[in-house]
Each structure stands twice: as C-alpha cells, then as structure tokens.
C-alpha cells in the first residue's frame, strides 16, 4: 500500500513483480507495453518517497528497490527494511506502522477528501450546475452526497465565500510585491521609503481575529502625521484567520486613503509573507474576493497618478509604524468585542477545522500497540515525521526498532521463537528495550553521553526515544539531542545492526 494511493494501486504494483519475487526494470517492462507514456507515469506515481509494503507474512516500510538511483539513496528513510521484514518476526499491526510512519489510514484519507469536496461545493458560484442542485434528504435512499455531508457534519458552510474560476483576468498586469528576507537590505529599504507609507497587521486573541493599520505621509509631514488609521474586528477564529485578516487590512488601508492623494508613491509594508504571495500570484484560493478588491483599489490609485508598491519585511525587524499597526490589531482582537462587519467565511479556515475534527478522533486501536502507547502518548501524530526525516538511513533503522519494540534483542526474539531464552547476555534480566538502554552492565561505558542529556529524566524511555510522556505539557516537542545520543549509543553497541547478508540485500 502506498502513501496517497489505494488498495487497487497496491495490487497493480504487485503485478510488476515476477513470481520469483524479483522486480523487473520498469523501463524494460514498459518498452514491451503499448502504453509507454501512461505506464511510465503510473509507475512514477507509485514510487512515492514513503510507502508501506504489505505481504502475507510481514509489513515493512522501505524504498522501492526499482526506484531510480538518485531516489534509492535518499537519506530520509523512516522505517528500515531490516526492522520489520525478518521472516521470523510476527506481523506488525498496520495501525502502529502507519502511526510511526506518519501515514494517514486509507479510511481517514477518504474522509478528508470527502470533507474537502463538500466544502469546495459550497464555494462554487451560484451559476455552477453543482451549486444549483438542492440536496434533498430521503429515508429510503441515502445518496453519496448525503454521506459526504455527514462526514463534514459540524463544519459551518452557510456563509462560505465564493471562489470564482480566477481572481484576476489573465490580461490584467499582476502586482509585484518585494520579498526581502535579508535583514540588512530590508532595513535599508524601509529607511529609504518616501511618500505614503502604510503598515498593516493582524492579531488573534482568544478566538477573535482582528486587524489594524496606519498610513503616514513621511515626505511632506516631517512629524509623520497620520493620514489614516483603523482597528477592526474581522470575525471569530472559526471563520477567519490571520491570512485573510492581513488581506482585509491591506484592502481597507488602500480604501481609506483620501481621494486628494494624487501623483504620490504609496508603499504597503506587512510582515505576512503568505498574504503578499497571494497578491502577487492570485489563484483559486481562499480570500479571492479580497484580492480582487486589492487589485481594483490599486488600479484606482494608478488612475490618480499614484504608484502602489508592496513590501514584505521579516518579523524580527524593528519598524515603528509596524509596531503601531500591530498594537492596533491587538486592541481590535480583545475579548468581548463583536465583529465590525460580516464577511464570508474563509474556505481555508473551514478546511482546517474539518481536518482537525477528524484528526482528533484518530487513535490507535485498544488491542494494538501496547508498547508504543506506553512509550509515546502522542501517537499518532506529526512529530514522528519530523523525528525520522532528520535522521540518516542507519539511524532511522535503529530508532524504528527501539520505538516499535521489535528490535534484535532477546526479549523480542524469544517471543517470536527466533531464540530460546529472553535472558540478556549479562545474565541479570530479560533483554528488553528498557534494559538494553539503561541497565545492561555490558554497555555502561558507552552510556555516558546519553545520560548527560538530562538529570531529572534519566531512565525515561519516552524522553530518550522522542516520545511524549503523560507528564509532558501540551506544547511538547521531542528532544532531538537526547534522541541522537540514544541512537549513537545503540549503534556503538552493535546489537541492532544488520548482518552482512541483509545489508547487501537492502543496498540492491
């Protein structure tokens, strides 16, 4: 089964395998086919970076051996083949492997696609055939669209924004924002600006989204007299987000400029890079109507002889006008204030709420992954992707064995019948992951660097393997220094390394 694929794709991939289990060259097979381009495109789609391979005896996670050479040697291998593909090992539960590899189950991916489809339908213009269809609830027959609506139940779509085919016609010249990431150059550009300077900002506090902005004439008014300022409540966090608030702040600033301003240079400065990127390349995206309004206002100012420029600066740059705009946005987002205007709900916010609602229900089955649940209370979660993607192949192989509990230690090997006794070679206790990491007297000298990572949490399996303990706070993140020290210790012992035959098989 491949990431982003279906069961049918996995079966189709199996047809490429010869009865002997050897994968033929995809190019050689495709040359014999009539559908050269179709077959090669389908094969490349199957060659995803991270995939689960399911067989009758085992479940493991690896790079396809038939992948191109530049892909085959990629270091971001999460679960090594040697970890879980031993013929003597028992079948790993698919839910544990999916959680460890940060792969969403097929059912959840279909549910996310259904929720996305349901929200996208409500963003269509009123003249679209799908938008004109009325959903009628029946008892005798439940249509597929009704089932999709049940999946997305709880997400408000009654005030959804309308997204047209394009935000701006293709023949309209695009606005070109300046994105300067270099701190020195950004400070120089800000100090060099003359004319009308506009600073915008957005803020979110306790579920309220606010925006603020100021415009000053720094050419004629040496005292930097304010031309216009505003602080507006945009809506709740369930309907809006900082991205749409920043777009609305830019549009309001251009709208509030007096009509008497002619033949001047107007510069809009913001710290929200995504908002300016959307203005520079408008697409079928959330906030499309606000982007269209920004283009209309920019054209109006050009008709008056003004030039309109957009500038992004990093957040760490100290900019007096930007600090005032941020303070205005924070005043607007204070708790207790009601929205000053009713704007449509952002599609991106509705999509985020739908995805979060589905992820909140994702847990490991009750009878599966007892060791993984005790080691990492945050499973399943996104932290495993960041955990493994920072490691090399050999390091990921070792960490996967320790985190799943299916390691080359006597405690696990005896459970699957590979060895007779689960006793450690030191003769003191069962060779489990915890005994191997913290108590085995054979590796005391190698354990010094690992134990120096902490004093209060020595002996914590969760801390050293990048898992979340029940005592950890909500805003927890894995300690990569401790994880790397643990991997270094395990590799130094040589207990979890591949033998020569398996290493040769994996390199092919």
Is domain 178-343 annotated with CATH 3.30.750.24?
no
pLDDT digits over 41-52, tens only? 444 444 344 555
Angle among Cα 103, 107, 110 to the nearest 5 degrees reads 95
Query: CB neighbours of 438 closer than 8 A, spacing ≥ 6?
Result: 447, 458, 459
Burial class (CB in 10 A: 0-12, 13-18, 19+), 494: exposed
Task: Find out whether 120 and 114 touch, Cβ atoms under 8 Å.
Answer: no
Task: Find out whether 443 and 495 touch, Cβ atoms under 8 Å.
Answer: no
In the chain, domain spans? 105-162+344-361, 178-343, 370-493
Query: CB neighbours of 250 closer than 8 A, spacing ≥ 6?
Result: 198, 200, 213, 268, 270, 275, 279, 294, 310
Instruction: Give residue 20's pLDDT.
Output: 40
Angstrom distance (rounded) from CA 219 to CA 264: 10
CB atoms within 10 A of CB 186: 21
Angstrom distance (rounded) from CA 235 to CA 238: 8
Half-sphere exposure of 102 (CA within 13 A, CB side): 14
pLDDT of 79 strictly over 60: no
pLDDT digits over 276-292, tens only? 999 999 988 899 999 99
pLDDT digits over 433-492, tens only? 999 999 999 999 998 888 888 888 888 899 999 999 988 888 888 999 999 999 999 999
Instruction: Give residue 454's pLDDT.
Output: 85
Instruction: Give residue 485's pLDDT.
Output: 93
pLDDT digits over 155-214, tens only? 778 888 888 888 889 899 999 988 877 777 877 888 788 888 999 999 998 888 999 999
Give the model's confidence band at 246: pLDDT under 50 very low, under 70 low, under 90 confident, else very high: very high
Percent of the chain clearing pLDDT 90 (strictly above): 21
Give the model's confidence band at 62: pLDDT under 50 very low, under 70 low, under 90 confident, else very high: very low
- Tokens at 68, concatenated: 């191109």
46-50, 233-237, 336-340: segment of lowest average pLDDT = 46-50
Angstrom distance (rounded) from CA 317 to CA 205: 23
pLDDT digits over 296-306, tens only? 999 999 999 99
Mean pLDDT across the stretch 482-503?
80
- Tokens at 24, concatenated: 């033929």
What beta strand segments (E) does 386-499 contain? none
Angstrom distance (rounded) from CA 404 to CA 59: 13
Give the model's confidence band at 136: pLDDT under 50 very low, under 70 low, under 90 confident, else very high: low
pLDDT of 247 strictly over 80: yes
- From 495, 486, 494, select the one nearest 375 (Cα to Cα): 486
Instruction: Give residue 138's pLDDT.
Output: 62
Angstrom distance (rounded) from CA 240 to CA 262: 34
CA distances (Å), origin 404, targets 85, 433, 465: 13, 10, 10
Average confidence score pLDDT of the chain: 77
């Amino acid at each position: 089964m491949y990431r982003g694929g279906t069961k049918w794709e996995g079966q189709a991939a199996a047809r490429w395998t010869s009865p002997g289990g050897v994968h033929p060259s995809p190019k050689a097979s495709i040359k014999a086919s009539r559908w050269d381009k179709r077959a090669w495109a389908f094969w490349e789609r199957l060659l995803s970076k991270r995939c689960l391979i399911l067989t009758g005896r085992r479940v493991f996670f690896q790079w396809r051996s038939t992948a191109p050479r530049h892909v085959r040697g990629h270091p971001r291998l999460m679960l090594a083949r040697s970890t879980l593909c031993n013929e003597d090992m028992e079948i790993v539960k698919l839910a544990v492997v999916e959680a460890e590899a940060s792969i969403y189950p097929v059912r959840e991916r279909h549910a996310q696609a259904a929720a996305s489809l349901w929200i996208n339908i409500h963003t269509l213009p009123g003249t679209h055939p799908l938008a004109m269809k009325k959903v009628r609830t029946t008892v005798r027959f439940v249509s597929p669209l009704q089932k999709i609506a049940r999946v997305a139940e709880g997400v408000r779509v009654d005030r959804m924004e309308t997204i047209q085919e394009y935000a701006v016609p293709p023949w309209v010249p695009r606005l070109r924002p300046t994105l300067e990431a270099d701190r020195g150059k950004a400070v120089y550009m800000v100090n060099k600006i003359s004319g009308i300077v506009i600073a915008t900002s957005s803020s979110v506090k306790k579920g309220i989204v606010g925006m603020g902005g100021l415009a000053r004439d720094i050419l004629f008014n040496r005292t930097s007299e304010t031309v216009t300022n505003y602080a507006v409540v945009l809506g709740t966090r369930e309907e809006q987000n900082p991205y749409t608030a920043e777009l609305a702040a830019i549009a309001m600033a251009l709208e509030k400029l007096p009509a008497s301003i002619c033949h001047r240079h107007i510069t809009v400065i913001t710290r929200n890079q995504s908002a300016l990127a959307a203005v520079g390349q408008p697409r079928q995206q959330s906030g499309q109507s606000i982007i269209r309004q920004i283009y209309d206002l920019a054209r109006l100012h050009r008709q008056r002889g003004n030039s309109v420029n957009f500038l992004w600066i990093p957040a760490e740059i100290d900019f007096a006008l930007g600090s005032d705009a941020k303070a205005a946005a924070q005043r607007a987002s204070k708790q207790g204030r009601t929205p000053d205007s009713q704007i449509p709900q952002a599609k991106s916010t509705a999509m985020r709420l739908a995805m979060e609602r589905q992820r909140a229900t994702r847990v490991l089955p009750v009878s599966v992954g007892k060791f993984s649940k005790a080691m990492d209370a945050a499973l399943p979660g996104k932290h495993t992707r960041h955990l493994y993607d920072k490691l090399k192949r050999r390091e990921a192989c070792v960490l996967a064995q320790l985190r799943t509990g299916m390691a080359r230690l006597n405690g696990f090997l005896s459970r699957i019948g590979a060895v007779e006794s689960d006793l450690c070679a030191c003769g003191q206790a069962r060779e489990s992951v915890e005994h191997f990491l913290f108590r085995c007297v054979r590796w005391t000298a190698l354990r010094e660097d690992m134990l120096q990572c902490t004093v209060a949490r020595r002996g914590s399996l969760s801390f050293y393997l990048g898992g979340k303990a029940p005592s950890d706070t909500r805003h927890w993140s894995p300690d990569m220094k401790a994880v790397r020290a643990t991997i270094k210790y395990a590799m130094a012992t040589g207990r979890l390394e591949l033998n020569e035959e398996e290493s040769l098989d994996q390199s092919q």
